[in-house]
Amino acid sequence: MFKGSGVAIVTPFDENGIDFNKLEKLLEWHINENTDAIIICGTTGEASTMTDEERKEAIRFTVEKVNKRIPVIAGTGSNNTKYTIKLSQYAEKVGADGLLIVTPYYNKTTQKGLITHYEAIANEVNIPIIIYNVPGRTGLNILPETICKLSNHSNIKGVKEASGNIAQVIEISRLVPKDFYIYSGNDDMIVPLLSVGGHGVISVVANILPKDTHNMVKYFLDGDLESAKKLQLQMKPLIDTLFIEVNPIPVKEAMNILGMDVGNCRLPLVPMSIKNREKLIREINHYGIKKWRD
């Protein structure tokens, strides 16, 4: 597991599929900018639009290129338990350090079903699992009591909490063991989550501000609460703009504006509206982010 800022990295696409040359450059940049972990094939990485082979190759490639310099967490979740097990076993086989597994979506399930789902996966792998709770996307919230029960499994080591409900985070922190990791899934709530026992963030904004996101968490964990708060407040307007349309539309647009050339999102996601793009450009300029040099 990691403490700090894990980037929910975008997947750069070109007309042929995944742009692996660009992905490699992004990985090296993140390592140089002190990103603490790479999360590949998450929501921001558009895993739901990838073929099975693309998803596997993205995981394998990332593990190979990072080469244990920082942890690589593979997004292997789906609403099909058997498929999630197979993909998770593949990620373990090629050397991933951990797994990020979203709650089942569309077909959903009960809280009992969530326990059965996650335990079935955890029983078939030997690397740590981070539960991903994002009810705004899945229509299903994992209750704190359910997370507490799952935290007793030896392979279930953390949660990415993206409910936006700080009271729920507090209750999770109260219930789970001290060695269970809690990561913010909301960039606008990193410092509040850390203040109630969190260990870091799995971040969207880190795609364009990796060093600042890393520093925010490090400041807090080192006891410099004022510097952490200052960065959280400074980044807030830009974070808000990165979610003015469905993620990852704005962050990919921001990266392209900054010269990173990561391509467009895949359908059904479409380019930003002109009005929102102009607002995004204003916030990028206001923050003072420099053009990217690979």
d(CA 92, CA 129): 11
Half-sphere exposure (CA, 13 Å, Cβ side) for 233? 6
Q: pLDDT, tens digit, for every residue of 200-236?
A: 999 999 999 999 999 999 999 999 999 999 999 999 9
Encoded tokens for 190:
């990193």
| Residue 24: closest CA among 72, 66, 56, 69 | 66
What is the rounded average pLDDT of the residues 85-114? Answer: 97
Q: pLDDT, tens digit, for every residue of 113-135?
A: 999 999 999 999 999 999 999 99
**8 A C-beta contact, residue 144 and residue 171:** yes
Q: pTM for the complete prediction?
A: 0.96
Instruction: Out of 56, 65, 157, 160, pick the active-site residue.
Output: 160
Give the residue extent of every domain in the chain. Answer: 4-233
State yes or no: pLDDT of 253 exceeds 70. yes
Instruction: Out of 132, 181, 183, 219, pick the active-site residue.
Output: 132
CATH code for the domain defined by 4-233: 3.20.20.70
d(CA 238, CA 188): 10
Helix, strand and coil content of the chain, in percent to the nearest 5, comes to 50, 15, 40
pLDDT attached to residue 293: 74
What is the rounded average pLDDT of the residues 61-81? Answer: 98
- Positive or negative, the CA dihedral 249, 254, 255, 261 is positive
Please give the helix or strand (H or E) that residue 156 lies within, else none.
Answer: strand 156-161
Encoded tokens for 246:
């469905």
Q: Tell me, yes or no, if 132 is annotated catalytic.
A: yes
Q: Tell me, yes or no, if 105 is annotated catalytic.
A: no
State yes or no: pLDDT of 269 exceeds 80. yes
Residue 143 buriedness (CB in 10 A; 0-12 / 13-18 / 19+): middle
**pLDDT tier at 294, thresholds 50, 70, 90:** low
d(CA 282, CA 54): 35
d(CA 19, CA 12): 5
